[in-house]
Amino acid sequence: MMKFAWDNYKRYAWGKNELRPVTRNGHIGNMFGGLRGASIIDSLDTLYIMGLMEEYNDAKEWVQNSLDLNSNGEASLFEVNIRYVGGLLSAYYLTGEEVRLIDVCYPSILVRSAASFIPKHGTSWSWGWASAGSSILAEFGTLHLEFVHLTELSRNSIYTEKVMNIRKVLNKIEKPHGLYPNFLSPVSGNWVQHHVSIGGLGDSFYEYLIKSYLMSDKTDDDAKKMYYGALEAIEANLVQKSPGGLTYMAEWRGGILDHKMGHLACFSGGMIGIGADDGAPEKRQHYLDLAAEITHTCHESYTRSATKLGPEAFRFDGGGEATATRLNDRYYILRPEVIESYMYMWRLTHDPKYREWGWEAVEALEQHCRVESGFSGIRDVYTMTVSHDNMQQSFFLSETLKYLYLLFSDDDLLPLEDWVFNTEAHPLPVVQNHSSFAL
């Protein structure tokens, strides 16, 4: 599947950000500003891990000769960090080859708002959909893993200092019921509205807390304390059980629950699983059970669709459970989060059902998303007459296919005690030198 996806990207979209597999051309988009080659950067480590060395060398050569970091245009700091910085860091750590290490993020973190930046000039900007110019929890909270490694490699402490400052602000600010809302004003330093979600806008903030602790070789006690404190508040306020017995994470809007779970929130099964061992001794089995229950619910969102692929969001009200009730939630864009949780739960429990579920996803992807020239998302998972969205997302190459490959590989391929995956599935090594984690 990776070779098929890659070969078609190379044939029809080389150097562009993503492949449009139905129309057989490239897509650039505006998420990365003037940066190009997102699918190449995102694929470097996947190709290497899979032993596709000819393809890896083609990708490496493009990075060396054609990646232009002096481009102009508004870009998402979050997306550039997790895909470009994460992808290049991972390729370096896996191969030991100094391809290119970029300093492109540095100017942008000197400003208070971490919503986005313009690469050429290092100027801060703000996405229109950010709530009234707010900073987004998952944006400023998803820099830590990469920036600690930038400090490790450059020996420049500025990267770690900046992300530690973000953490200090979050520690000081009052949190409603212990929860972290999704929007923060970079001007006042206060929460803008009390919307809390483990899905989009919030998700990877929580993921990076437990992963920061694990990546520090379990010395970053501040991250540990923040993670388990947040998890306690999530359990008290967001975790629900449906009448049919499915455990899910609702969203919280100023104290009122919205009984909806996004596909993006399905990463949380894996997150709670990898954090289970380091919780309070009496809660370790509870956390592993909770991780399994959430992963089961996300699998149900797949099995209850005609295509056996899950919708963008599913609800637990109006009689239906784990199904999308709104037309605009029915699409699947090759997302990895459910498969990601299968991989972690397999590694943690070796229960064969997780491989069975992963294989169901492989068969569904092959049947419904594979087109003549690549893989495409689909607009409605509830109909067998599929309509393709004509986009092979770069995260399909970086995350979905990598997590599937790891699910069916031995545990000694990127063992979890030695590697931590960033939120784009780029593996980063556990840091043995603990200097970066002192506040």
Residue 135 phi/psi, 5-degree rounding, is -90, 145
Annotation says 337 is catalytic: yes
Q: Are 52 and 6 in contact (CB under 8 A)?
A: yes
Annotation says 174 is catalytic: no
Q: Can you tell me whether residue 258 is helix, strand or coil?
A: strand
Q: Can you tell me whether residue 135 is helix, strand or coil?
A: strand
Annotation says 232 is catalytic: no
Q: Are 134 and 422 in contact (CB under 8 A)?
A: no
Q: How far apart are CA 437 and CA 439, in angstroms?
A: 6
Catalytic residue among 312, 380, 389, 424: 312
One-letter amino acid at 384 equals: M
Q: How far apart are CA 19 and CA 10, in angstroms?
A: 9
Catalytic residue among 45, 55, 337, 380: 337
Annotation says 54 is catalytic: no
Residue ranges with strand state E in 99-241: 116-118, 123-125, 135-136, 183-184, 191-193, 195-196, 239-241
Catalytic residue among 42, 45, 79, 251: 79
Q: How far apart are CA 231 and CA 216, in angstroms?
A: 20
Catalytic residue among 146, 203, 380, 399: 203
Q: How far apart are CA 276 and CA 273, in angstroms?
A: 5
Q: Are 355 and 406 in contact (CB under 8 A)?
A: no
Residue 325 counted as an annotated binding residue: no
Residues that constitute the known binding site? 423
Binding positions for Ca(2+): 423
Active site amino acids? 79, 203, 312, 337
